[in-house]
Amino acid sequence: MNKKSRLFSIRTFFRRLFHRRIVILGAVIVLIFIIGAIFATVIAPYNPYKIDVLHSLRGASREHLFGTDENGRDVFSRVLFGARTSLLIGLIAVLFAAIAGILLGLISGYFGGWVDIIISRIMDAILAIPNVLLALSLGLVMGNSIPSLMFILGISTVPNYARIMRGQVMGIRNSDYVLAESVMGAGTFRILLSHLLPNCFAPMIVLITQNIGNTILSEATLSFVGLGVNPPTASWGGMVNDGYIYLISNPVYSLAPGVCIMLLVFGFNVLGDGLRDVLDPKLRGTLK
């Protein structure tokens, strides 16, 4: 493909992606949160960890946009730093899960037989344990530092990738071009990586984008029940929980982080739907 036509295809890709206005909205929301998270130190009007007991639980005002929490910390600044936690954990957990799931799916779909049975039953077992429950019990074993949270949240979504990947691979494993390749003497590894993997790429990208939202929700749920990110690190779920008992004195404290979770998850979901419409030819044009 020469440079010009590649440029053209990228342009068509974005034109198709942003064909629906709501996808633009989703992309803008995600972008705003990413910028907010990256430049949190610059944007935040206060230090999110600075305790000021004299000004605790103030309602929203000009000095404190979202008021202050029970320790007098500025809620707006903490929400900004919470975006960092959510995005970091969400993105890395999803990437980890995707890589693990895609590899497992490739292996079990391509080799079949016993390998497939073993991998599939383990995936079934992971799926049968409700993900929050799995995360809670793994958290007990591994502790709730941020890296172990990423691993824990990732693990429970591995079967989603593995299953779809397995189905995709099984669908094209016996197709003519794979057969031709193996007749021409290509090794298993080459077939797996240069033929089967790229062919399953589009549904995986879609699944990854859609799973980021769910992972962010799970992280928030864990932090909400007090078994996620450790305080004083700012996390949205934890803030909703901390603010819950102060709903009467400063409702914004508990409600604002919830709105942020909603917006960010909404952004990723809409973006995921947009990507699906563009990348998954089977569904293209059916959803307007």
Residues that bind other proteins (CB under 8 A): 121-122, 124-125, 127-133, 136-137, 139-141, 143, 213, 217, 220-221, 224-227, 237, 240-241, 244, 247-248, 251, 254-255, 258, 261-263, 265-266, 269-270, 286-288
The Cα 250–Cα 265 span in angstroms is 24
User: What is the smallest separation between the CB atom of 59 and other proteins, expressed in angstroms?
Assistant: 14
Question: Which is closer to other proteins, CB of 33 or CB of 191?
Answer: 33
Residue with tokens 């172990």: 148
Question: Which is closer to other proteins, CB of 131 or CB of 209?
Answer: 131
Neighbouring C-beta atoms of residue 258, cutoff 10 Å: 16
Phi, psi (degrees; rounded to nearest 5) at 68: -125, 160
Interacting residues of 257 by C-beta distance below 8 A, sequence separation 6+:
79, 82, 236, 237, 239, 240, 243
The Cα 117–Cα 96 span in angstroms is 23
The Cα 43–Cα 58 span in angstroms is 21
* Radius of gyration over every alpha carbon of the chain, rounded to an integer in angstroms: 22
Question: Which is closer to other proteins, CB of 191 or CB of 212?
Answer: 212
User: What is the smallest separation between the CB atom of 90 and other proteins, expressed in angstroms?
Assistant: 13
Buried b (16+ CB within 10 A) or exposed e, 28-61: ebbeebbebbeebeeebebebeeeeeeebbbebe
Q: Six-digit token pair at 151?
A: 């691993």
Interacting residues of 38 by C-beta distance below 8 A, sequence separation 6+:
none
User: What is the smallest separation between the CB atom of 39 and other proteins, expressed in angstroms?
Assistant: 24
User: What is the smallest separation between the CB atom of 158 and other proteins, expressed in angstroms?
Assistant: 14
Question: Which is closer to other proteins, CB of 112 or CB of 258?
Answer: 258
User: What is the smallest separation between the CB atom of 192 and other proteins, expressed in angstroms?
Assistant: 26
User: What is the smallest separation between the CB atom of 108 and other proteins, expressed in angstroms?
Assistant: 14
Question: Which is closer to other proteins, CB of 123 or CB of 165?
Answer: 123
Question: Which is closer to other proteins, CB of 233 or CB of 269?
Answer: 269
Question: Which is closer to other proteins, CB of 85 or CB of 192?
Answer: 85
Phi, psi (degrees; rounded to nearest 5) at 61: -150, -175
User: What is the smallest separation between the CB atom of 2 and other proteins, expressed in angstroms?
Assistant: 38
